[in-house]
Amino acid sequence: MASNPELLDQKQGDDSTAKPNKHTHKSTGRLLLGFAWPVVGMLLGYFAAGLLLGVLLVALVPLIPNLERMVENQRNIYIIFLTSLVGNILIVPIVGLTFKRYLFGKNAKLLDIVGLRRRPTLKDVGITLATFIVYFVTTIIVTGLISQVLPQINLNQKQDLGFDRPTVPVEYFIVFLTVVILPPLLEEFVFRGYMFGALRKQLSFWPATIIVSIAFGAVHGQLNVAIDTFILSIFLCLLREKTDSLWPCILLHAAKNGLAFTLLFLFPELLPTELR
């Protein structure tokens, strides 16, 4: 008896829907892990850094005058800087190496994954400056619209950076490192490097960008800051996509934080009173 091709096709279709697709499950697992692990790994790194520093500093208290007072002050600039520095050092291998083979393949190199396969160039600087201008104008427009549509959101709420205001030159330098240098390096590695790289293997550009930007805004907590960092992240993802490099992202992030540092700590009189 001759078989009916239409019946065979229908049966094959029924079989394919009845049995779960292992490839689909694996892709979903990679998608979820690529989104969640960078944030979890970053939190684990900072927790481990705080734990290690806590044990070390307590051991050194009897040996160093005034160290106990510094340790007790959780907003001490030097303690915050050391925690951030050690956290950065720990987070890179925690996030970058733990699931690298599963998410990117056994032959993938970490520097290639996060977009650091080459050195920064003058072209990167030019692209960064142009993007910074567009980002700045976009932020003004978007926040202006939000203030009109949702006036209950306080867009001028002062951001708590977590440490005391610097008073002497060395403290200003430490704050500069803590605000302008370390966050762009680490956060770009985690979000536009690792997370965006992992999601981009499973999704098209805009879904990956929106997910990364929501996560990036969320980790900054404060709503008005989250809105600003969400907008910033969109431009950072565009840079990552168009240049295939993390360096322009790091430069733009550092420029944005550098402007904030300049206004908050060097020329606060230029800011509205509620932001100082």
Q: Mean per-residue pLDDT for 144-171?
A: 88
Q: Return the pLDDT at 274.
A: 66
Q: Return the pLDDT at 21.
A: 56
- Gap between the Cα atoms of 249 and 254, Å rounded: 8
- Gap between the Cα atoms of 195 and 35, Å rounded: 6
Q: Return the pLDDT at 8.
A: 45
Amino acid at site 226: A
Per-residue tokens: 117: 């396969």
Residue 68: how many other CB atoms lie within 10 Å:
14
Q: Is the pLDDT of residue 220 over 70?
A: yes
Q: Return the pLDDT at 250.
A: 98
Give the residue carrying structure tokens 């930007």.
213
End-to-end Cα distance, the chain: 86
Q: Mean per-residue pLDDT for 97-107?
A: 93
**In this predicted model, what pLDDT tens digit does every residue of 110-137 receive, in sequence order?**
999 999 999 999 999 999 999 999 999 9
Give the residue carrying structure tokens 């969400």.
230
The number of angstroms, rounded, from the C-alpha of 41 to the middle of its chain's C-alpha atoms is 12
6 versus 210: the higher-pLDDT residue is 210
Mean pLDDT of the chain: 88
Per-residue tokens: 234: 């969109």
**In this predicted model, what pLDDT tens digit does every residue of 235-257 receive, in sequence order?**
999 999 999 999 999 999 999 99
**What band does 54 get if pLDDT is binned at 50, 70 and 90?**
confident
- Gap between the Cα atoms of 116 and 127, Å rounded: 17
Q: Is the pLDDT of residue 24 over 80?
A: no
Q: Return the pLDDT at 23.
A: 53
Geometric angle at alpha carbon 156, from 248 and 174, rounded to 5°: 50
Q: Mean per-residue pLDDT for 46-54?
A: 92
Predicted model pTM: 0.86
* 233 within 8 A of 110, measured Cβ to Cβ: no
Q: Is the pLDDT of residue 193 over 70?
A: yes
